[in-house]
Chain A
């Protein structure tokens, strides 16, 4: 925002710390209400305003403190933000960042828990990224703002306590491409966002049991870097995919389909997919504990495969 005056932020609750998990602290004082616009509760209207501002030379960041409320904004996000440039023959770029927070757990139930990355990866014209560490959280957010397309940047509040040394200066990290976090030979394990944290724990446990896991952080959901996954599967012959969203029709289904086609003769075992059961999130903590996959779920799946 310091670097480029055309950047401004807009969204329901962005100047309210408990809405946005303290991530906007100090910005209102630095940039004033003119560039930190905390709006009426009008998600579709606000998304449309961001689209119109982007179409006319601004670089807005529109934030949804809870991803669940994005359903209201689907028309402007899909029909307008994502489709405009293609439908108008490449004549109307929409340099727009949409920041969506996954805020779940704590018995918040179905409408305060959703992780909708798979819904949005289905939409052509949208880039969808999900950082798993502080470095990418900063670098990919800045890259999204610089990008001349609508970029949906999804951050999971279960990652907000993560710590890592990050350069204080301005830098970007690429919006495309998966990252191999650990090299291994027995099983390829693919995860994104918060599930990378659980997968790292699984990796460490499995290492103690002499199971060598190759861990891949997807980083970008759309475009999806299936080439990096395929390279790994050609080596290991085994693939476990873990996603923080619903299983049916989701990221894991897409990856499994691509890998089944591209690495058919390399696969020693059927692909295993882990994700949420096809149910809205329950409230009771006893139900939450079986609803969300975690490192133990991952460990069991990998051991089952070996």
Chain B
């Protein structure tokens, strides 16, 4: 690995570790019932958000889903305000009105996440329309899962973004399941990328657990979007380690097998990039340990921040309904 790529790889790994540690600590405390808000954890999928967002600036727009913590963190969102929002505290990024599935930090370009499957996909296309009208190099990025491609509005959005040549990157994180139902029981043609390519897209397929592969493919795609204003589509194959919702593994409800979960845990995206960095330079081992130590403190601080923040007072009930 070249020196320049090595610095980028360390940045990506740092983001991945920030997501992993945040989510694992969150999973750890979820059973305490300090908050009731449902959490959809991103453990196992960290490479995608981290590697795509490494190519973005604060001016670029990002939109996400119910499983949004990873995208928010990768875009540079504030950990304290995220944890506080999951705890539904007044200091949360949405003032305790949204919870885990409704987060925002416009200062870093993370515009919104939505609990409605495919809900932010057309919204991201609208942001790309704003970017196109502004005629700068801004782009919009929509993260979503394979389940979102079951929805009609996904296809409406794919068509319109191509038709109007809008600067947007669609990132499909194909984790093989929409909640409990595998893609084989949902789609007549399961090759999502192939279907999208018929709209004239340059479709990029990547191993979503290989951070450097996602990074370089996203980099080429994003540079192309900035240059041409034409949209692109990235399909990254991955797997969520934990339950659709909550900190368990969903092995008790019969929709996935223990050996599949084990297989994907063996393909840990963090272990892969970690080994690549250490193979390149043994000194990276210490650097990574330092990073990990720093992040553990950040995450512990965010939990402390959330715990010591107040829940919204009753007089906040109408706040933000209208401007």
Contact = CB atoms under 8 A, between A and B. Distances in A.
Interface of A: 8, 34, 37, 39-40, 42, 44-58, 60, 75-76, 79-80, 84-93, 124-125, 127, 148-149
Contacts of A125: 321-322
A102 to B, nearest CB: 25
Contacts of A46: 122, 156, 160
A82 to B, nearest CB: 9
A147 B159 CA distance: 30
A52 B323 contact: no
B138 to A, nearest CB: 9
Given A55-B111, A86-B97, A92 B104 contact: yes
A172 to B, nearest CB: 16
B160 A39 contact: yes
A52 B320 contact: no
A93 B323 contact: yes
A88 B98 contact: yes
A127 B156 CA distance: 27
B113 to A, nearest CB: 9
B185 interface: no
B135 to A, nearest CB: 11
Interface of B: 61, 63, 92-98, 102-104, 106, 111-112, 114, 116, 119-131, 133-134, 140, 152-153, 156-157, 159-160, 163-164, 319-323
A104 B46 CA distance: 53
A80 to B, nearest CB: 6
Contacts of B153: 42, 44-45, 48, 75-76
B127 A53 contact: yes
Contacts of A56: 61, 111, 126-127, 130-131
B321 A124 contact: yes
A90 B94 CA distance: 7
Contacts of A93: 323
**What are the 9 closest A-B residue pairs judged by CB atoms, nearest first?**
A52-B126, A48-B122, A90-B320, A45-B156, A89-B95, A42-B156, A52-B123, A89-B94, A49-B126
Contact of A58 (B93, B130, B319, B321): B130
Contacts of B156: 40, 42, 44-46
A179 B27 CA distance: 56
Contacts of B94: 87-89, 91
B320 A53 contact: no
B88 to A, nearest CB: 11
* Most interface-central of A40, A75, A79 (chain B CB within 10 A): A75
Contacts of B129: 49, 52-53, 58
A99 to B, nearest CB: 17
Contacts of B319: 86, 89-90
A84 B94 CA distance: 10
B252 to A, nearest CB: 31
A87 B123 CA distance: 16
B218 to A, nearest CB: 21
A48 B126 contact: yes
B112 A45 contact: no
Nearest to B105: A91
Contacts of A148: 323
Given A45-B153, A91-B104, 18 more contacts: A8-B133, A37-B164, A40-B159, A48-B153, A49-B157, A52-B111, A52-B129, A56-B111, A79-B114, A79-B116, A80-B123, A85-B320, A88-B103, A88-B104, A91-B93, A92-B104, A127-B322, A148-B323
B159 A42 contact: yes
11 contacts: A42-B156, A44-B153, A48-B153, A50-B126, A53-B130, A56-B130, A76-B122, A80-B114, A88-B97, A88-B103, A125-B322
Nearest to A8: B133
Nearest to B142: A52
Nearest to B99: A87
* Most interface-central of B102, B112, B123, B140 (chain A CB within 10 A): B123
Given A48-B157, A50-B126, A87 B97 contact: yes
A124 B317 CA distance: 13
Nearest to B130: A56
A86 B163 contact: no
Contacts of A48: 119, 121-123, 125-126, 153, 157
Given A40-B163, A149-B322, A89 B125 contact: no
A58 B106 contact: no
Nearest to B316: A89
A42 B121 CA distance: 13
Given A44-B153, A45-B157, A88-B98, A52 B125 contact: yes
